[in-house]
Amino acid sequence: MRSLWREWARIRNRLAAQRRVLFLLDFDGTLAPLTRSHSEARLSAEIRSILSALRRREDVRVAILSGRALPDLRSLVGLPSLYYCGNHGLQIEGPGVSFSHPKAASMRPLIQGLAERLERDLARFPGSVLENKGLTLSVHYRRVPRAGIESLRRLRDALQAETSDLPVRWRDGHKVWEILPGVRWHKGAAGRYLMRRMARSFPVALGDDTTDEDVFAAVRRRGLAIRVGPAGASQADYYLGGQSQVTRFLRGARAALDTKA
């Protein structure tokens, strides 16, 4: 993985040479800074302006891929004509697309039962937040006092063992752990779904979390895969040093595309 800025001139020219570009963008930690509470995340005015300008181009499509619930994601971004991929891509809405993974949808009662169990168990952990997104669950623990973290981890391990015979997957993220339906689908699968629909588009993926590695793997050797954060082991081709550099990249990408006009 290489610094994007060290090769920016070549990358800029490569973007400018594309007939069509598909942006596959994570939300939390990428488009918006991570916050103490997931409910506090906001887009900057400049990033919203850039996304709005990109969506108006006939040669560009923009997709937001997130673990958030679809209505939450659409409300936070607030722009029409984008592709919104919620619940790690289990639901996709956008121009000409309305997709919900059928097997995951059939597992709503199971997920709801686990949510009710978690609500009871998490009541003794001040600062923890259960986010019930219908198809998936997220337990946010960024605000849990340090003294309670080890007990919370033991609860997680016990629950994971108890549900080992159920068709669910457990996954860790930034100060969050998640329960997802055990289906062969993730952000990378959602990215491939959109790439197939927008054939011959050049994909550009940005993300900061382990859940974005599937998108990077789908994009590699076909486009640009860019990790937001320090250099390290990743499926991405390049890295940006932190979330604050995302605006600079999107601004530069927009300028590169404008050279075609």
What average pLDDT score do residues 229-258 get?
94
pLDDT classification of 180: cutoffs 50, 70, 90: very high
Mean model confidence pLDDT for the chain: 95
The pLDDT-based confidence of 221 (bands split at 50, 70, 90) is confident
- Residue that is last in its domain, among 148, 181, 214: 181
Record the tokens describing residue 94, joined without a space: 């956008």
- Inform me whether the pLDDT recorded for 220 exceeds 60: yes
Give yes or no: residues 118 and 131 share one domain. yes
- The CATH number of the domain holding residue 62 is 3.40.50.1000
pLDDT of residue 261: 57
Predicted local distance difference test score (pLDDT) of residue 216: 97
Q: How confident is residue 106, by pLDDT bands cut at 50, 70 and 90?
A: very high
Residue 140 structural domain: 104-181
Where does residue 148 rank: exposed (0-12), middle (13-18), buried (19+ CB within 10 A)? middle
> What tokens appear for 245 in the block?
């550099």
Final residue belonging to a domain, choices 141, 156, 181: 181
- Does residue 236 come out as left (phi exceeding 0), alpha (psi in the -120 to 50 range) or beta? beta
Calpha distance 110→133 (Å, rounded): 13
- 3 state DSSP class of 205: strand
Is residue 11 located within the same domain as residue 93? yes
Please count the structural domains in the chain: 2
| Exposed/middle/buried for residue 162 (C-beta within 10 Å: 0-12, 13-18, 19+) | exposed
Residue of 26, 209, 212, 237 with catalytic role? 26
Percent of the chain residues past pLDDT 90, beyond the cut: 90
Average pLDDT over residues 12-32: 97
Catalytic site residue 165? no
Please check whether residues 209 and 172 belong to one and the same domain.
Answer: no
Q: Which of 181, 200, 221 is the last residue of a domain?
A: 181
Considering the domain architecture, whether residues 176 and 191 belong to the same structural domain is answered as no
Question: Rounded mean pLDDT of 26-34?
Answer: 95
Is residue 158 scored above 60 in pLDDT?
A: yes
